[in-house]
């Protein structure tokens, strides 16, 4: 497990990186996973990581597991790395935005 100071910093960095609310993320996961003829159950929509991020958003800091902490590190690293990408063509920007939204980060959101 991570020490208290490191966990505090991770908690803040994660919530800064994940700028969508749990409701927004849940809705996006349902929309992004819906097909023309089918739609998954709400608690099964989206990627495993997206579902894990959603679960973390609904937890208290004291209830985090080691798996939660690893996902939080991965999300912070992914959002930080993707934030440095600029000047992409429009289709690539849209694809990248949608990928980031599956882990709770909307680059167009202030």
Closest CA to 109 of 22, 101, 71: 101
Query: Minimum mean pLDDT among 30-34, 54-58, 72-76: which range?
Result: 30-34
Which pLDDT tens digit goes with each residue over 57-98?
A: 999 999 999 999 999 999 999 999 987 666 666 777 788 888
**Whether 19 contacts 53, CB under 8 Å:** no
* Chain centroid, CA 71 distance in Å: 9
What pLDDT is attached to residue 35? 52
Backbone angles phi, psi at 55, to 5 degrees: -65, -40
Confidence bin at 34 (pLDDT 50/70/90): low
Neighbouring residues of 68: CB distance < 8 A, sequence distance ≥ 6 = 52, 55, 56, 59
């Amino acid at each position: 497990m991570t020490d208290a100071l490191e966990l505090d910093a991770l908690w803040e960095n994660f919530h800064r990186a994940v700028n969508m609310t749990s409701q927004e993320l849940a809705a996006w996961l349902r929309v992004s996973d819906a097909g023309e003829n089918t739609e998954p159950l709400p608690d099964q929509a989206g990627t495993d990581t997206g579902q894990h991020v959603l679960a973390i958003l609904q937890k208290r800091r004291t209830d985090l597991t080691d798996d939660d902490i690893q996902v939080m590190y991965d999300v912070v690293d992914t959002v930080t790395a993707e934030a440095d990408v600029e000047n992409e063509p429009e289709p690539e920007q849209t694809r990248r935005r949608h990928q980031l939204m599956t882990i709770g980060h909307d680059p167009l959101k202030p």
